[in-house]
Amino acid sequence: MNMKYEKVEINIDDSRKFQDIALLVDREDFLEDLSTFRKIYDSKPHTAIDGYFPPPEIYEIRTKYKYPISFIFAIWRVATENRISDRDVKDLYGEEIAPYQTRSIEKKIPIYINDEEIFIRVTPGVPLGKQKKVILESLRKYLDRWNKSHPLFLDTKPEMRRDREWYWEKRMGKSYGKIAREYEDKYNLQDQRDVIIKAIKHYEKALNMEI
């Protein structure tokens, strides 16, 4: 491997969100698409307001990799700044909408449904146990249509940050032995090359999943 593409800086504390972002932004084909987009985007003049709204190309990238619409601003941040932090993924898996916002949201429901989002009404004052069945059945009906072989359905791996670190060290041209020596104290490796090889292979396999 070579350093054709620069590593995206990920500053996300939540392990699940970190994994979901990493397994997208480290894909070779995704990095290639970002590189193509940046060349086109950087060649055009922009106004100050352009930075707030993702262009059509970002929506196309999101659709190509079959990520939910909630990932659109995360992808946009990576595309324009090559970094992403907690604030960019706050609503990655959904968001709470306050009661006073409900009326305005209801008018947009057809649009949101077409854009792969659904809303489930929860009535304050009704015991949670009585609403849980409705909530779970509604979620199951919509979520079951998603491709279960997608990276989003992988179990959370606690070592994902470590594996990503090693993966990019290897991309920089370092040998397994050199990586083992450099990280010996940090991860108590004692020159265990096999641990590093297995971790990097596992990470590469997750990156190369068909989606």
pLDDT at residue 97 in the model: 56
The residue with greater pLDDT, 183 or 189, is 183
Cα dihedral 90, 36, 211, 199, rounded to 10, equals -80
Contact 161, 14 (CB under 8 A): no
C-alpha 7/C-alpha 26 separation (Å) is 8
Average of per-residue pLDDT across 57-62: 94
Q: 94: left (phi > 0), else alpha (psi -120 to 50), else beta?
A: left
| pLDDT over threshold 70, residue 200 | yes
Q: Looking at residue 193, what is its pLDDT? A: 83
Q: pLDDT tens digits for 117-131?
A: 666 666 666 677 777
The confidence score (pLDDT) of residue 118 equals: 62
pTM above 0.85, yes or no: no
- Cβ atoms of 28 and 42 within 8 Å: the answer is no
Rounded Cα–Cα distance for residues 188 and 184 (Å): 5
Within 8 A by CB and 6+ apart from 80, the residues are 41, 51
Average the pLDDT over each of 47-51, 54-58, 62-66 and give the range with the smallest value. 47-51
Report whether pLDDT(81) > 90. yes
The pLDDT value given to residue 142: 65
Least-confidence region, from 100-104, 108-112, 166-170, 187-191: 108-112
Q: In this predicted structure, what is the pLDDT of residue 110? A: 41
15-180-2 Cα angle (round to 5): 80
Residue ranges per structural domain of the chain: 7-93, 99-146, 157-211
